[in-house]
Amino acid sequence: MTVRTRFAPSPTGRLHVGNIRTALHNHLFARQHGGEFILRIDDTDGERSTAAFDQAIRDDLDWLGLALDRSVRQSERFDLYEREFERLKAAGRVYACYETPEELDVRRKVLLGRGLPPVYERQPEDAAVAEGRAPHWRFRLDHDRAIGWTDLIRGPQSFDPKLLSDPVVRRADGSWLYLLPSVIDDVDLGISHIVRGEDHVSNSATQIQMFEALGAPPPAFAHEALLVAAEGKLSKRLGAYGVGDVREAGLEPMALLSVLARIGTSQPVDPVASLDTLAAGFDFAHFGRAPAHFDPHEVELINARLLHGLDYEVVAERLPSGASEAEWLLLRPNLERLSDFAGWQHVVAGDIDAPDLAHDERLLARDAAALARDLEWNGETWRALTSALKDSSGRTGRALFHPLRLALTGRDSGPEMAGLLERMGKDRAIERLTAAAHR
């Protein structure tokens, strides 16, 4: 069996982290099994769907590296839906209904008032048709067979169809609702696995009967726990957090994907440099039933850890012109974002403002400049310089190292000083120490 998964967003807005997580898991599962990952744009809502959002979704997936094997648009497949709808109508599996929303709401309230489930009550076949009223269409569930499947995350699932309303699949104006076109597409595209949020579990129950009515075996299902923020239900603000926020913050796509691949599972959230590595370790058995907590700050932390392990070849084209592998290896342990590299490169080779040191610290900088003139300049210079200053000044620890770092780099912290001192060169180091001593 060829594994085929699909990601089916509506082009009515930008992707947010919940969407991206679903796309990622579909992509990883297909990639792990050498299968296909399909993008289906659910643009049957002509009023809200836009070409701009359609393109934005594709751009976001491309930036994230979630390569597509195929893409389709539902708005280009109406002939297929019409044909299958007529087939189901001829078989008696879809039928016309004439109640207004107000009438249905009244009936629901009556049932609830009687302590009964608000399940749609089918009208007799010979029920009078309201004059001039166009029908909406429902799928007729088979009440004689229980619905069940073994979910890849939730385990055995069972539904009594008598407790489910026959779902509306087509509105009175002829437009389509989500359920039936989705099934028709999944059959036509040969989708083998449907990976989506747990809020679709009851939809899956009704759709299983739609697959069977169309003469197709249902795909396997994996319903994931929903994504939530630390403060509880995924807030509107966090619900809008997406690729644009990640790019604006200067974070790596793999930092976001590393987090979204593992939160909600029993696996640790660690930085992973490639989708192939993520796919190799992807397993629905690791997923729990508890909500998956997403924190943008965790993406920032993973981003720093990711950068600290990246080889020069991976980032070389994105570094400032002329940046060497030696510079990358020296500076990467202190980077939080790749854009930080240019700032540290300037610290090494550019001009900095002399820091405002205390009087005794300026004397230390003066002595350091004098000692530096007689030292050989290599990877051992920092050790030799600080050892000599320790003996002459009696300073140790932070009292010795911190003012020297400030004088030489203008910063309180950063990469290890031995490498920085060697890279900045003797003349520049002496110039900075002298400037700090005389500020």
Taking the CA atoms of the chain, what radius of gyration do you get in angstroms?
31
**pLDDT at residue 22 above 70?**
yes
Comparing 108-112, 361-365, 416-420, the range with the smallest average pLDDT is 108-112
Q: What is the DSSP track for 32-56?
A: HTT-EEEEEE----TTT--HHHHHH
Tell me the mean pLDDT in the region 22-45: 97
- pLDDT given for residue 130 in this prediction: 62
Rounded to two decimals, the pTM is 0.90
8 falls in which pLDDT band (50, 70, 90)?
A: very high
Which residues have C-beta within 8 Å of that of residue 178, sequence separation ≥ 6? 42, 44, 203
Kindly state the tokens that stand for 426: 């003797």
- pLDDT given for residue 89 in this prediction: 97
Say how far apart CA 60 and CA 37 lie, in whole Å. Answer: 15
User: Above pLDDT 90, what percent of the chain?
Assistant: 87
Burial class for 402, CB neighbours closer than 10 Å (0-12, 13-18, 19+): middle
Question: pLDDT per residue over 135-175, tens digit each?
Answer: 999 999 999 999 999 999 999 999 999 999 999 999 999 99
Tell me the mean pLDDT in the region 176-185: 97
Question: pLDDT per residue over 290-346, tens digit each?
Answer: 988 999 999 999 999 999 999 999 999 999 999 999 999 999 999 999 999 999 999
Tell me the mean pLDDT in the region 190-198: 97
Contact assessment for residue 393 and residue 400, using Cβ atoms and an 8 Å cutoff: yes
Tell me the mean pLDDT in the region 349-361: 95
Contact assessment for residue 167 and residue 202, using Cβ atoms and an 8 Å cutoff: no
CATH 1.10.1740.10, domain 351-437, yes or no? no
Comparing 49-63, 137-151, 218-232, 235-249, the range with the smallest average pLDDT is 235-249
Q: What integer best gives the mean pLDDT of the chain?
A: 94
Kindly state the tokens that stand for 122: 């089918």
Tell me the mean pLDDT in the region 26-45: 97
Domain ranges of the chain: 4-71+179-226, 81-170, 229-308, 312-348, 351-437
**pLDDT at residue 105 above 60?**
yes
**pLDDT at residue 117 above 90?**
no
Name the DSSP class of 252.
-
**pLDDT at residue 439 above 90?**
no
Name the DSSP class of 176.
B
The CATH code for residues 229-308 is: 1.10.1160.10
The pair phi, psi for residue 411, each rounded to 5°, is -130, 155
**pLDDT at residue 234 above 90?**
no
Cα–Cα nearest to 295, from 264, 317, 321: 264
**pLDDT at residue 17 above 80?**
yes
**pLDDT at residue 236 above 70?**
no
Q: Would you give the distance in Å from CA 91 to the centre of its chain?
A: 42
- pLDDT given for residue 125 in this prediction: 59
Tell me the mean pLDDT in the region 347-368: 95
**pLDDT at residue 238 above 70?**
no
Comparing 34-48, 128-142, 200-214, the range with the smallest average pLDDT is 128-142
Examine domains 229-308 and 351-437 and report if their fold is the same. Answer: no
384 falls in which pLDDT band (50, 70, 90)?
A: very high
Q: What is the DSSP track for 228-245?
A: EETTBS--HHHHT--HHH
Which residues have C-beta within 8 Å of that of residue 304, sequence separation ≥ 6? 335, 336, 337
Tell me the mean pLDDT in the region 347-361: 94
- pLDDT given for residue 203 in this prediction: 96
Residue for token digits 């000083």? 417
- pLDDT given for residue 46 in this prediction: 85
Tell me the mean pLDDT in the region 382-401: 96
- pLDDT given for residue 307 in this prediction: 97
Q: What CATH number does domain 81-170 carry, 3.30.70.20, 3.30.200.20, 2.40.50.100, 3.90.800.10?
A: 3.90.800.10
Contact assessment for residue 54 and residue 41, using Cβ atoms and an 8 Å cutoff: yes
Cα–Cα nearest to 275, from 292, 297, 253, 249: 253
Say how far apart CA 337 and CA 329 lie, in whole Å. Answer: 15
- pLDDT given for residue 126 in this prediction: 55
Say how far apart CA 318 and CA 345 lie, in whole Å. Answer: 14
**Dihedral over Cα of 121, 127, 130, 136: its sign:** positive
237 falls in which pLDDT band (50, 70, 90)?
A: low
**pLDDT at residue 67 above 70?**
yes
CATH fold, domain 4-71+179-226, is: Rossmann fold (3.40.50)
- pLDDT given for residue 232 in this prediction: 53
Tell me the mean pLDDT in the region 109-138: 81
